[in-house]
Every structure is written in C-alpha cells, then in structure tokens.
Amino acid sequence: MGAPKPVRSSSVQGSMALVPELRLADLVTLLAVQGTGTISGAARELGVTPSQVSKAISRLERHYGVRLLSRGARGVAPTPAATRMLPRIANALAELRATNGCREERGPEVELVVAGPSYLVAQALPAMINLMTGARLRGFELAPPYLRAYIAENVFDVALVPGGVHGRPASWTSEPVGEIRSGLVGRPMYAKRLGPLPLSVDQVRTLPFIVPTAGTVDRFVTISDDCPLSRDERVAAHEAQMVGAALEVAASTDHVVFCPLLAARRLMESGALMEIPVVGWDVRDPIHVLCNGDRVLSRTHTAIVRAVQSVLAEPNGRGGRPISLGAPVAPRGRDEVAQVS
C-alpha cells in the first residue's frame, strides 16, 4: 500500500477561503479615507469610484476581522481598532516608497484638489504645475458662494477665493496674495460706436449686457458679477452661467460684460475685446489662497502662493492696467462677494 495521503480539514479550508488576501492598494485606500474623511473624497483622490473604495475597506475588515470605519452624517471616521493600525500602515507604506524598486515611488509626490472660479483656476493651475514638479493637481471650477459652502466638506484642499472666507474651519489657513480688478468689456468696434470714452453711468444703463444666469431652483445660487449697477438697473439682454461663455459671446456680438479683467485677459490680448472705461468705476477684490493645513505641507503652500502671485502680477491685457500686488484691499463690507464663475 502507498503512503497515506494527508487529510485537510474542509472546515479549515473554508475559513481560509473566506479571508481575503492583504492588498497594498487596499491599505493605501484606507489611508486616503482617513485623510479625506469621506468615501467619495478618497475616490476622487485615488481616481477610482466610491464603490471601489467601499469594496477595498470591506476586504480589509474581513481580513483583520474588525470594523475599521464608523459612518456618520458628515462622513466616516476610523474606529479605535483602525486608529491603532493606521500609524503602522502609514509607516510601512513610507518605507516601501523609500525603496528604489517600489512601484509606488513613481507616483506623484503631492495630490491636491484646487478649487476656485473658472478664470482663476484656468490661469493659476498652469503656474502651479510649473512650480510644483512631481505634483498631481485636480482643478475644480466653483463660484465663491460654493467655495464658502463646501470648505468644511473635504471637497477640495486649496481654494482661490475673491473676498476670502469668514468663519473657515480651524485647520484652514487664509493668505491674501493680491487683488483683482473688474471692468466693463466689449468689442473694440462696438466701443468705437459708443462715442468718446470714458462712458458715463447713464450711458452704461442703455447698453445690452450679458449677465450671470439667475438661480431658479434651490440648488443653484444666483451669482453676482459685482457690477456697480445692479441687475435691475441694466439691460439684461442675455444670460450665461460661466464668464468664459459670456466673454465669447461679447467678442462676437454687440454686447458688454462686467467681469474680472483676468478672465478676459486672452481675448483682450488678441484684440477681440477691450476694457470700456466708465466714469467713477474702480472695482477691486482681494484674492485669498486658502489651504487645508491637514493636507497641504508648508513648502507646497509656499509654491501655491507664489504661483497665484505670479498670475496676478501679469498685466490684464491690451488696454488694461496691471493688477496691483500691493497691500491687500479690505473687502467692501459684503460677506458673500461673488464673481461670475
């Protein structure tokens, strides 16, 4: 007779099959959830779906046999068991990244979500990328009221906010980096037909404006373009949600737009638009860089500030004055200063 075959317990085999193997990516996911405070925030940071994040956490919980996250109204938080594990996981991943052959080493050193009005994000993001080698940035285009509303929701790590934010979370820093000027813009041929410049305020009342789209439902906030003339005092010929769309229309038709001149920079430089001066109008807003201190390192914060300052230091474009980088001006007494996004 041959040697007896080893007997394996089916119960042991079954229990082992129920325990998933430990995956490095799942540990990275757990750290991302801890850093962002939400499943969706971790998904954005990792470039995956929320469902994939949830499955990774479930695998870890089955592997370790403990619950790792507690869910609340404002997101998720590590359980006591996870709190004890996370420092060791972070240290282990740091050691792996330090090895020459580790695949993780080829990933970005810094991953940040940068939010702000469209014209600021479009101008500042290239400057940040040039200064922050090895960083991976995600740009979110949000109007100032939404920036203020979402600052405590872990939606973004950096915010570029005209007028700043009052009552921000304690972990967030705010630094004024300069000011931005707004003005009336239109086609040069159209401006020539309007007569001698600057225009009077009474003349401006008769011009056809492209104004911000008014919010018609609770989920959308009506955005002000900060024009010295209220919406009711102007001829609102058309509406546009984004300032870029409004400017493109103005560059091809006989309409005017009141907006931050930074938003119109490229069209002004090309000669498609020009500033139309108005007697007594000099509208300026301070620009603040806000950073989540739990996510943004000091050296990264310094690079972001330098990048935004470099953008604000450039001239507004043909016919425009430079944007001042002197002492920041105080907000004009309004808590919700809102530009066209």
Residue 334 lies in a domain: no
Q: Is residue 333 part of a domain?
A: no
Question: What is the number of other CB atoms lying within 10 angstroms of the CB of residue 183?
Answer: 23
Q: What is the pTM (predicted TM-score) of this model? A: 0.61
- Could you tell me what percent of the chain has a pLDDT over 70? 79
Q: What CATH number corresponds to the domain at position 211?
A: 3.40.190.10
Question: Do 157 and 22 share a structural domain?
Answer: no
Name the pLDDT band for 228 (thresholds 50, 70, 90).
Answer: very high
Backbone dihedral angles phi then psi of residue 254, each to the nearest 5 degrees: -90, 70
- Taking the mean position of all CA atoms in its chain, how far away is CA 234? 31
Partnered with residue 284 across adjacent β-strands are 181
**Same domain assignment for residues 292 and 153:** yes
pLDDT at 195: 93
Same domain as 186, residue 173: no
> In terms of domains, do 190 and 246 share one?
yes
- In the chain the beta strands, taken as DSSP E runs, fall at 69-72, 75-78, 110-116, 135-141, 158-162, 172-186, 208-212, 235-240, 257-260, 274-275, 283-292
Whether 221 and 146 have beta carbons less than 8 Å apart is answered as: yes
59 and 128 in a single domain? The answer is no
| Beta strand 172-186 pairing with 257-260 | antiparallel
23 with 160, same domain: the answer is: no
- Is the residue at 329 inside a domain? no
236: burial class by Cβ within 10 Å (0-12, 13-18, 19+)? middle
pLDDT at 96 over 80: no
pLDDT of residue 216: 56
Q: Which of 47-61, 196-210, 226-240 has the lowest mean pLDDT?
A: 47-61
Instruction: Specify if 44 maps to a domain.
Output: yes
SS3 for 190-239, per residue? Answer: HHHHCCCCCECHHHHHCCEEEEECCCCCCCCCCCCCCCCCCHHHCEEEEE
DSSP classification of residue 278: B
φ, ψ of residue 261 to 5 degrees: the values are -65, -25
Looking at residue 184, what is its pLDDT?
97
Q: Does 154 lie in the same domain as 120? A: yes
User: What does the pLDDT look like over 46-79, one tens digit per residue?
Assistant: 877 888 888 888 888 888 889 998 887 677 888 8
202 plus 217 within the same structural domain? yes
Q: What is the mean pLDDT of residues 237-251?
A: 92
Give the domain CATH number at 84.
1.10.10.10
Mean pLDDT of 117-128: 91
Residues 149, 198 within the same domain:
no
pLDDT at 18 over 60: no
Does residue 2 lie in a domain region?
no
**pLDDT confidence band for 219 (50 / 70 / 90):** low
Whether the pLDDT of residue 318 is over 50: the answer is: no
Number of independent structural domains in the chain: 3
State residue 222's pLDDT score: 62
> 300 in helix, strand or coil?
helix
Q: Tell me the β-bridge partners of 114.
A: 139, 158
Q: Which domain holds residue 279?
A: 182-283
